[in-house]
Amino acid sequence: MNKFDIKSYCHTKLMIESWPIGQSKTWCVMGTNDSGKQQLAQLLSGELTPHSVEVILLPAPNEIAIISFEQQQKIYEHELKIDTSDFKDQQDVGTLVQEFLPQDKLNHPLIKQVGLAHLLTSGYRQLSSGEGRKLLLLSALLDEKKLIICEDPFDSLDQESSETLSMLFKNIIQNSDITVILLLGNRRDIPKWCEQLAIIKQGDLNVIGAQHCADTQAKLDDFFKNDDDKITLPEQFYNTALNPHDYLVKLVNGTVRYQNKTVFQGLNLTVKPQQHTLITGPNGSGKSTLLHLITGDCTQCYSNDLTLFGYQRGSGESIWQLKKDMGIVTPELHRQYRVNSNLLTVVLSGFFDSIGLYQQPEKFQTTYAQQWLKKVGLNNKEKILFNELSFGEQRLALIVRALIKAPLLLILDEITQGLDEFNRHRMLKIIKMIMIESNSTLLFVTHRKDELLDTFTQHIKL
């Protein structure tokens, strides 16, 4: 057993009285989006310098792997910086998947087991967020790291992929000397094989005991106790006029194909006003591509028989004419939102469908944005820069950015990715109220069974 240990650790943003990590090979640390999990990951990776500490026994930095949304974003932004597509006659896909792995282990059976064997010659930017997380985990395992810290590893993975990943963790732990620490925000994501639990709240970490102990579960229930405050939508949200056309979206015999790969073909989809539509399917089935077709982010929208808000795509309408009636939240938007404005500015940019804010908002728009931030618990952070927020807080900000103009069509792809249990519960309540009480219509993609709301009136399975 490893002798990893932390005692009397003191930092302005993190306090640990005693954490005997080496007593177990598996830990789950539970916390909310602003609890200090980000600082905890920085401590474990050696990036955080304490003001005082009695004992800190951890592996060398090169023997530690951090797998987090923030780490994935750093890699993605680096890949954008080295992109030379503008100087070539062909697309530069950037660093290949296989280059993240030890070159003498490219035939290792783990690669196939996690479902990445067919992606070895793809570029990192071409991966979904779930695939990117699996790649970083695979790299850590093949590099034989001693300590792996993974944030919300099952977010955005379908059920089969989640079970495969969980079994992979379990097998690796049983057959190696690796210590695994999962940083989680939802109780449903605690795997059965995890032995010890800790909670972190306002930067204070406390060990609560063995997972399958009644006393531990009682402490966990108390930590996640929900006051279930009553939530109401801002008055302005009810001012959206109904769409005068029969369909918000109509796709006939839709097909998307890249070189030799067909994402989907022969797909028919109609969405009428108030026909709230749930889209599910395994990773790689084309859910996000379908949404990109609708939002115009997939250029094959022009080669398809696609009608939006009464406009036939390719008939002369601009994408901005269409996007003014859309509110969009996708993992891709999150990755692309790199203008480092403060939180309030990010939310206000939703009025103008821009990445960043380039015109002066009206006073009523600022007031309205502040009302929304209060409803999602971010009203005390409106001056904080976007990249200084936790990943979950960033996702909340982008959700509010999409809701701010009460659009006719809300396109929401894995919106609760990175949200803790409190914020997931609150956001789903808001989404359900929007479906029942407003004129907005939802297109909603999810993998999670606890997000299959009874207010959806159409279910598309890809």
For position 1, what pLDDT does the model report?
Answer: 59
Contact 25, 174 (CB under 8 A): no
Contact 416, 448 (CB under 8 A): yes
CA distance 330 to 332: 5
Give the CA distances from residue 223 to residues 56, 142, 153, 377, in Å, rounded to whole numbers and listed in that order.
Answer: 27, 36, 21, 18
Contact 269, 434 (CB under 8 A): no
pTM, two decimals, is: 0.88
Residue 275 phi, psi dihedral angles, 5° rounding: -95, 80
Walk along the chain (462 residues) and give the pLDDT tens digit of each residue: 578 999 999 999 999 999 999 999 999 999 998 899 989 998 998 889 999 999 999 999 899 999 988 888 889 889 988 887 766 666 778 899 999 999 999 999 989 988 899 999 989 988 887 788 889 989 998 998 999 999 998 887 888 888 888 988 888 888 888 999 999 999 999 999 999 999 999 999 999 999 999 999 999 999 988 766 678 888 777 776 677 788 999 999 988 888 778 888 899 999 999 999 999 988 778 888 899 899 888 888 888 899 998 888 877 777 777 788 899 999 888 888 877 899 999 999 999 988 888 889 899 999 999 999 998 989 899 999 998 898 899 999 999 999 998 899 999 999 998 899 999 999 999 999 999 988 899 999 998 888 888 899 999 998
**Amino acid of residue 277:** T
Helix axes 129-142, 159-174, angle to 10 degrees: 10
For position 228, what pLDDT does the model report?
Answer: 63
Q: Which of 377, 252, 224 is nearest to 313 (CA)?
A: 252
Max CA pair span of the chain: 69
Domains of the chain as residue ranges with CATH: 5-223 (3.40.50.300), 235-461 (3.40.50.300)
Pairing label, strands 458-461, 277-280: parallel
For position 227, what pLDDT does the model report?
Answer: 65
Give the CA distances from residue 12 to residues 15, 36, 206, 461, in Å, rounded to whole numbers and listed in that order.
Answer: 8, 11, 16, 48
Residue 123 phi, psi dihedral angles, 5° rounding: -85, 155
CA distance 125 to 226: 38
